[in-house]
Amino acid sequence: MAMLLQITTFLQQWLYSQPSVKAGTKNANAVRIGILSTAMINPAGIIHPAESHPGVVIKAIASRDIKTAQKAAKSYSIERAYGSYEELLKDAEIDAVYISLPNGMHAEWSKKAMNAGKHVLIEKPVASNAEEAATIFETAKKTNRIAVEAFHWQFHPAAHVVQSLVKSGRYGRVISTHAKMTSPANSVPKSDIRWQYDLAGGSLMDMTYVISSTRYFLNAGTPQSVEYAKARTLPYDKRVDESIDARMYFESKVAADSGLVKSDIHTDMNQPYVGHVIPKIWEQPSIMIELEDATIYFYNFMMPHLFHYIEVTDKRTGQKHTQKHYNFGPEWGARSEPWWSTYRYQLEAFVDKLTGKQPVHWISPDDSIAQMRTIDAIYDKSGLGKRPSNYTESKI
């Protein structure tokens, strides 16, 4: 349940942002970050991770309402509050901007931020559609700014361990994958922006992790084909998906003899209760990867810092073994802490990139564009059509 995971992450990161584990004195050349919006994701996504990073200062936060911005600034000891996004972008002391606005506003404000000289960390999905995504990274190249999509889970050691198991060839090549993510009915209020078509809402947009995980473990771009995509829409807005089931075929270097991997995904942002009484709170984002000689099941890949397990079932012996990885791993090594959240690992990489170092992991522009092209293709196959753009260049 995505909402429960976020709330638990807030609590976990709050505990680890107390004086005993805070970074203490910040570096003199710390990256100064501004936040566009006062969204609920901010404490987990950037504020608490920054508290334990000596190379980051949250300098300002902006809302369309100054009182809302001031309240947030006071709550999190942020120095400056602005009553408009434009004001924050004019602040010459801001180096980078975290964009946690609704999906449909990501492209507009990412481009405005980069044109104002700021680097951008953009919440997922990076844009409303692939065309918008491409313009974001074109602007990044033109302005010589760094833009990256915040697929935080990919920065965690557990994700790297699973990827290494797949790539190793130890269990043969990949035959199929199945990724799913659900939230119980009514856990996302009707008024929530995630249901709003004009803001690029829908279950596939919000739960785009199922596509991200599939593509990441296959090291794949866009699918060769989308065999089917079936959507259950909102009763009051048939343009917006409550749930989507889709099957795709990906070309991949880790694919079995056919050269193609069959990949199923399932999202449900309004999942019915069992017997109309019991919410399926035990269902966390997960992916099953079937290889020739084993299956790998990664439970709670989205927020593995809270709890996860990687279960490997050997087809040859029938034996199962389970492992967990909260730090170290094949990429981070000793440069990690077991209490770091996925967002804290992500911030470590973001700061490395901004300061000219080689990040341990990175999400490339091509990857983010391919991610949006895949989303667009599924929406098109479902008959709903890709999410529209709601801005024009003249407004930017």
Q: What is the DSSP string of 50-115?
A: HHT-TTEEEEEEE-SSHHHHHHHHHHTT-SEEESSHHHHHH-TT--EEEE-S-GGGHHHHHHHHHH
Instruction: Determine the pLDDT at residue 272.
Output: 87
Average pLDDT value for the chain: 93
The per-residue pLDDT for 390 is 74
Q: What is the pLDDT of residue 97?
A: 98
Residue with tokens 């690029």, as numbered in its chain: 200
pLDDT class of 17 with cuts at 50, 70, 90? low
pLDDT at 213: 98
Which sequence positions are flagged as catalytic?
124
How much is the average pLDDT of 86-112?
A: 98
Q: Which residues pair with 82 in a beta bridge?
A: 62
Q: How far apart are CA 313 and CA 296, in angstroms?
A: 7
Q: Residue 358: pLDDT band by 50, 70, 90 thresholds? A: very high
As a whole number, mean pLDDT of residues 310-335 equals: 97
Predicted local distance difference test score (pLDDT) of residue 394: 37
Q: What percent of the chain has pLDDT over 70?
A: 92
Residue 335's pLDDT is what?
95
Q: What angle do CA 328, 319, 156 make, to 5 degrees?
A: 20
- The domains of the chain, with CATH numbers, are 2-152 (3.40.50.720), 154-382 (3.30.360.10)
Q: How far apart are CA 291 and CA 313, in angstroms?
A: 10
Tell me the β-bridge partners of 243.
232, 268
Q: Is the pLDDT of residue 207 over 60?
A: yes
Quick: pLDDT tens for 113-137: 999 999 999 999 999 999 999 999 9
- Specify whether the CB–CB gap between 346 and 333 falls below 8 A: no
Q: What is the pLDDT of residue 395?
A: 41
The pTM for the full model equals 0.94
**What's the pLDDT tens digit per position in 269-317?**
999 887 777 788 888 999 999 999 999 999 999 999 999 999 999 999 9
Could you give phi then psi for residue 313, rounded to 5 degrees?
-110, 115
pLDDT for 396 beyond 60:
no
Ranking 39-53, 185-199, 273-287 by mean pLDDT, the lowest is 273-287
Nearest to 215 by CA among 125, 305, 280: 125
